[in-house]
Amino acid sequence: MADPLVLFMPSGKRGRFPAGTPVLEAARQLGVYVESVCGGRGICGRCQVEVQAGQFAKHGITSAADHLSPVGPKEQRYAEKRDLKPGRRLSCSATVEGDVVIDIPLDVQINAQIIRKAADTRVFERKPAVQLCYVEVEEPDMHKPLGDLDRLKDAIERDWGFSNILVDQHLFPQVQKILRQGEWAVTAAIHKDSDTGQPSLIALWPGLHNEAYGLACDIGSTTIALHLVSLLSGRVIASAGASNPQIRFGEDLMSRVSYVMMNPEGREAMTAAVRKAVDDLIGDVCGETGVHRNDILDAVFVGNPIMHHLFLGIDPTELGGAPFALAVSGAVHSWGGQLDLETNEGCRVYMIPCIAGHVGADAAAATLAEGPHRQDEMMLLVDVGTNAEIVLGNSERVVAASSPTGPAFEGAEISSGQRAAPGAIERVRIDPETLEPRFKIIGTELWSNEEGFARAATATGITGICGSGIIEVVAEMFLAGIISTDGVVDGSLAARSPRITATGRTFSYVLHDGDPLITVTQNDVRAIQLAKAALYAGIKLLMDKLGIDHVDRIRFAGAFGSFIDPKYAMVLGLIPDCELANVSAVGNAAGTGARMALVNRDYRREIEGTVRAIEKIETALEAKFQDHFVAAMALPNKIDPFPQLAN
- If the CB atoms of residues 211 and 410 are measured against ligand FES, the closer one turns out to be 211
The distance of closest approach from Cβ of residue 154 to ligand FES in the complex, given in angstroms and rounded to an integer, is 21
- 104 with 41: CB under 8 angstroms? no
The distance of closest approach from Cβ of residue 64 to ligand FES in the complex, given in angstroms and rounded to an integer, is 23
- If the CB atoms of residues 92 and 525 are measured against ligand FES, the closer one turns out to be 92
- If the CB atoms of residues 42 and 467 are measured against ligand FES, the closer one turns out to be 42
- 380 with 392: CB under 8 angstroms? yes
Name the E strands within 277-423.
296-303, 332-335, 348-351, 379-383, 388-393, 398-403
The distance of closest approach from Cβ of residue 284 to ligand FES in the complex, given in angstroms and rounded to an integer, is 32
Q: To the nearest 10°, report the CA torsion of 539, 540, 543, 549.
A: 120
- If the CB atoms of residues 43 and 356 are measured against ligand FES, the closer one turns out to be 43
At a CB cut-off of 8 Å and minimum separation 6, what does 345 contact?
168, 170, 203, 337
Measured CA to CA, the distance from residue 110 to residue 236 in angstroms comes to 10
| Residue 19: how many other CB atoms lie within 10 Å | 13
Binding site for ligand FES (CB under 6 A): 36-38, 40, 42-47, 90, 92
At a CB cut-off of 8 Å and minimum separation 6, what does 513 contact?
499
Q: To the nearest 10°, report the CA torsion of 63, 66, 72, 75.
A: 100
The distance of closest approach from Cβ of residue 103 to ligand FES in the complex, given in angstroms and rounded to an integer, is 16
- If the CB atoms of residues 14 and 46 are measured against ligand FES, the closer one turns out to be 46
For 394, counting Cβ atoms within 10 Å of its Cβ (0-12 exposed, 13-18 middle, 19+ buried), the class is: buried
- If the CB atoms of residues 42 and 266 are measured against ligand FES, the closer one turns out to be 42
The distance of closest approach from Cβ of residue 603 to ligand FES in the complex, given in angstroms and rounded to an integer, is 25
At residue 226, φ and ψ (nearest 5 deg) are -130, 135
- If the CB atoms of residues 161 and 643 are measured against ligand FES, the closer one turns out to be 161
Identify the CA nearest to 574 among candidates 544, 535, 627, 543: 535
- If the CB atoms of residues 134 and 409 are measured against ligand FES, the closer one turns out to be 134
Tell me the CA distances in angstroms from 137 to 165, 192, 374, one per residue in order. Answer: 15, 21, 45
The distance of closest approach from Cβ of residue 189 to ligand FES in the complex, given in angstroms and rounded to an integer, is 16
- If the CB atoms of residues 48 and 271 are measured against ligand FES, the closer one turns out to be 48
- 57 with 7: CB under 8 angstroms? no
The distance of closest approach from Cβ of residue 542 to ligand FES in the complex, given in angstroms and rounded to an integer, is 49
The distance of closest approach from Cβ of residue 45 to ligand FES in the complex, given in angstroms and rounded to an integer, is 5
Helix (H, G, I), strand (E, B) or coil at 345: coil
The distance of closest approach from Cβ of residue 42 to ligand FES in the complex, given in angstroms and rounded to an integer, is 5
The distance of closest approach from Cβ of residue 90 to ligand FES in the complex, given in angstroms and rounded to an integer, is 5
CA atoms 613, 618, 624, 628: torsion sign: positive
- If the CB atoms of residues 74 and 567 are measured against ligand FES, the closer one turns out to be 74
The distance of closest approach from Cβ of residue 151 to ligand FES in the complex, given in angstroms and rounded to an integer, is 22
For 208, counting Cβ atoms within 10 Å of its Cβ (0-12 exposed, 13-18 middle, 19+ buried), the class is: middle
- If the CB atoms of residues 133 and 535 are measured against ligand FES, the closer one turns out to be 133
| H or E element at residue 487 | none
At a CB cut-off of 8 Å and minimum separation 6, what does 14 contact?
5, 6, 7, 8, 30, 59
| Residue 408: how many other CB atoms lie within 10 Å | 23
| Residue 392: how many other CB atoms lie within 10 Å | 28
